[in-house]
A and B are shown apart, each in its own frame.
Chain A
Amino acid sequence: MTTSSELNMPEIAMAEKEAGKWGMVIDQDICTGCQACVAACAMENNIAFVGEEDSGYGRAMHWIRIERFWEGEYPEVKMTNQQPMMCQQCGSAPCEPVCPAFATVHSMAESLNLQVYNRCVGTRYCANNCPYQVRAFNWRDYKRPEPLPNQLNPDVTVRRVGVMEKCTFCIQRIFKAQDQAKAEGREVMDGEFTTACAQACPASAIVFGRVDDPQSLVSQLKERSGGKTHLKELGTLPNVTYFNGG
């Protein structure tokens, strides 16, 4: 297997070796699949409403979705736990090296996968190379009927046609908390802020925080046995840990 260093990749697309900075723990045993996170995410991040027709083409835009799986053969089917799926903010992300415009780059400062909308030219290579299928493409300029434009989040760019987008781990909230903490001359405290999905979750199945801080709630939850990351065999180093059947 050829590694990125052998290919002499530019430094900007370089992978990480260890755990990232921000991480998430999702407990599927307490997730009820209520989709509150999906709604909260759409509101927080100005996600467009695609409509019936384009959804039929598989162009629905969600940064987080609830996956459902079944076990067994009909009629003895048994539904397994719901599985919220969003961008795993991989340490070694497959989406990054394929972008010809360097629109999806790795943030060295926050250890996140960035999507720079003004750089994106819409090749959709990243979405095709994402093993988690969590990227959404703006196939059209989707209209927001009045008065919906009034609820747009001013901290997040409103994307236009031809631009790829994905979960950012609510980077606007990260920066807002960091800015607030800096103004008050202190460090960001654990649990001071959280992502929109984690905030909306009525069962607290989603926990967000610093994974490089062993004292944080998310690190302690992550340390429990039985946690797994998805598609570990691909070596993507995801920053979202799932607990299922524990």
Chain B
Amino acid sequence: MIKKIFDWLKQPLGLIAVGIVFLAVFSAAAYGIYLTQQAPEQPVPEFPHQTHVAFGIQCLYCHPGASKGPAAGLPSQSKCWACHNQIQKTVDSAKLAPLKDAVINGESLEWIPVAIVPDFVQFNHRAHIAAGRNCEECHGDMSKVTIAENPQVMNMGWCLDCHIEAAGEDQEKLIKLSDCGTCHY
């Protein structure tokens, strides 16, 4: 039975079939990987980070948790509305309709976080800001992007490279910053 299948696969038609199956699997995998690298669709499509940065709005205005605690936070529609209710474009622009609808209906804008770590990693923004790190060192230059994207893969090697560099010659700091329990508990 198995020999019959192999014999069939060895003829030209069989080889073509194998090739097609291989290509299909390979392209499906490639497409799957491509999808994971795409920024997710946000409730306000094409939210322009660069426009907001160009107006001189600080990162901490919309993400104030970064300097105070673990999570930076994503702004609620009331924060957007503080400025947007004074802007004519909010009424005219179709792109801003989700914001307008959310405010009128009293619903919340469900932003999708882009820079995420797995559940077994306990990340704290405050400690990193206090250590003198700037937002763009990890999140990229927001004056150049529309929807937030991850400029790099946030994995443990990337974290540790920076931790070891930050510790420098200080042995005590190195022990603390390379301790498993600092991030995993």
A residues whose Cβ falls under 8 Å from a Cβ of B: 105, 107-110, 112, 114, 116-119, 155-158, 168, 171-172, 175, 179, 182-183
What separation, in Å, do the CA atoms of A156 and B185 have in the docked complex?
6
- Decide: B120 and A157 in contact? CB cutoff 8 A: yes
| B residues contacting the other copy or chain, number (CB 8 A) | 17
- Tell yes or no: B122 within 8 A of A by CB: yes
Q: What's the minimum C-beta distance from A156 to chain B, rounded to whole angstroms? A: 7
- Decide: A105 and B127 in contact? CB cutoff 8 A: no
Interface residues as binary, B174-185 with A (CB distance below 8 Å gives 1, 0 otherwise): 011001111011
What separation, in Å, do the CA atoms of A117 and B119 have in the docked complex?
10
Q: What's the minimum C-beta distance from B71 to chain A, rounded to whole angstroms? A: 9
Contact of A109 among B119, B126, B175 (CB under 8 A): B175
Q: Could you list 20 further interchain pairs (A-B, Cβ under 8 angstroms) beyond the known A107-B179, A108-B179?
A: A105-B180, A107-B180, A109-B175, A109-B176, A109-B179, A110-B179, A112-B181, A114-B181, A114-B184, A118-B184, A119-B180, A119-B184, A155-B70, A157-B122, A168-B185, A179-B124, A179-B126, A179-B127, A182-B130, A183-B130
- Between A and B, 8 residue pairs with Cβ closer than 8 Å are A107-B180, A117-B184, A119-B180, A155-B70, A157-B122, A157-B184, A158-B119, A172-B185
What separation, in Å, do the CA atoms of A5 and B175 have in the docked complex?
20
Contact of A110 among B120, B124, B127, B181 (CB under 8 A): B181
What separation, in Å, do the CA atoms of A107 and B130 have in the docked complex?
23
Contact of B185 among A109, A114, A119 (CB under 8 A): A114
Instruction: Considering the complex, give the chain B residue whose CB is closest to the CB of A110.
Output: B181
- Tell yes or no: B118 within 8 A of A by CB: yes
Q: What's the minimum C-beta distance from B121 to chain A, rounded to whole angstroms? A: 8
Contact of B181 among A155, A156, A158, A171 (CB under 8 A): A171
- Decide: B180 and A116 in contact? CB cutoff 8 A: yes
Q: What's the minimum C-beta distance from A153 to chain B, rounded to whole angstroms? A: 11
Instruction: Considering the complex, give the chain B residue whose CB is closest to the CB of A115.
Output: B185
Interface residues as binary, B140-179 with A (CB distance below 8 Å gives 1, 0 otherwise): 0000000000000000000000000000000000011001
Chain A residues within 8 Å of B124, by CB: 175, 179
Q: What's the minimum C-beta distance from B44 to chain A, rounded to whole angstroms? A: 26
Chain B residues within 8 Å of A172, by CB: 122, 185
- Decide: A118 and B181 in contact? CB cutoff 8 A: no
For chain B, residues 100 to 143, give those with C-beta under 8 angstroms from any C-beta of chain A.
118-120, 122, 124, 126-127, 130
Chain A residues within 8 Å of B118, by CB: 118
What separation, in Å, do the CA atoms of A118 and B122 have in the docked complex?
12
For chain B, residues 4 to 22, give those with C-beta under 8 angstroms from any C-beta of chain A.
none
Q: What's the minimum C-beta distance from B185 to chain A, rounded to whole angstroms? A: 5
Chain A residues within 8 Å of B119, by CB: 157-158
Instruction: Among B120, B179, B181, find the residue whose CB has the most chain A CB atoms closer than 10 A.
Output: B181
Instruction: Considering the complex, give the chain B residue whose CB is closest to the CB of A157.
Output: B120
What separation, in Å, do the CA atoms of A85 and B109 have in the docked complex?
47
What separation, in Å, do the CA atoms of A105 and B180 have in the docked complex?
8
